[in-house]
Amino acid sequence: MPSPLFHAATGYFLGKYLPRNIIPRSYQFHRFDFNILYPVLIATCADFDFIPQILTGTGFHRGISHSLIFTLGFSLIVAGIASKIWKISYQKLLRFTLILYSSHLILDFFAEGRGIKLFLPFLDQFFKSPILLFPGIHYSKGLFDRSHFIPILYELLLSAVLYNLLTQWQAYQAHKAAKSAIKNNIHSHPQLHSQKSIKSSDSSF
């Protein structure tokens, strides 16, 4: 399974780089603000099931918190509370929360390990992709075991590559938007443009 760090990084990327029409409009993304914590927390929180696992000693991890029904119920409730606090569209926040929470299930589904119990409480069975994208981190060996080094390094490199690609993509989109805004401005004010051209041709004499 990916480490909680990679789930958090995924939440950060989704909060920062998803198209603006998917992120609720009045949801401002600020670096050291609670608004960055929302996507990071929602994308990570499925793994908080290690707490009842420690408390009860039963195999709770990757259980109900990694199921589709929990994803829906959790998103409905959390988006409801958050939309009241931020006074923003419940529908948009629900969609955003569903994307964030589902990102966790998708990453775990493509990771080495037992898989996830997607259809709990109806079907008590682990599911995982036949194609694996993430090496597993085996916490049963301890929190700071040397075997974690390669998977963590892989996740760090992947995060760096993704950050680079997404930043470049965002810069390209901003450049494209600025170019089309200038073009539209010229089309909507042709007289202004022609006056400017006349002035510039006058000044050239």
> Nearer Cβ to Zn ion, position 8 or 79?
8
Please report, as a single letter, which amino acid is at residue 82: A
CB of 73 vs Zn ion, minimal distance in Å = 17
Q: Which of 13, 108, 109, 135 binds Zn ion (CB under 5 A)?
A: 108
Residues from 17 through 46 that contact Zn ion (CB under 5 A): 46
CB of 111 vs Zn ion, minimal distance in Å = 8
> Nearer Cβ to Zn ion, position 34 or 48?
48
CB of 134 vs Zn ion, minimal distance in Å = 11
CB of 156 vs Zn ion, minimal distance in Å = 19
Structure tokens at 127: 């599911």
Binding mask 45-74 for Zn ion (x = CB under 5 A): -xx---------------------------
Q: Does 155 bind Zn ion (CB under 5 A)?
A: no
> Nearer Cβ to Zn ion, position 49 or 162?
49
Residues at the contact surface with Zn ion, assessed by CB under 5 A: 46-47, 108
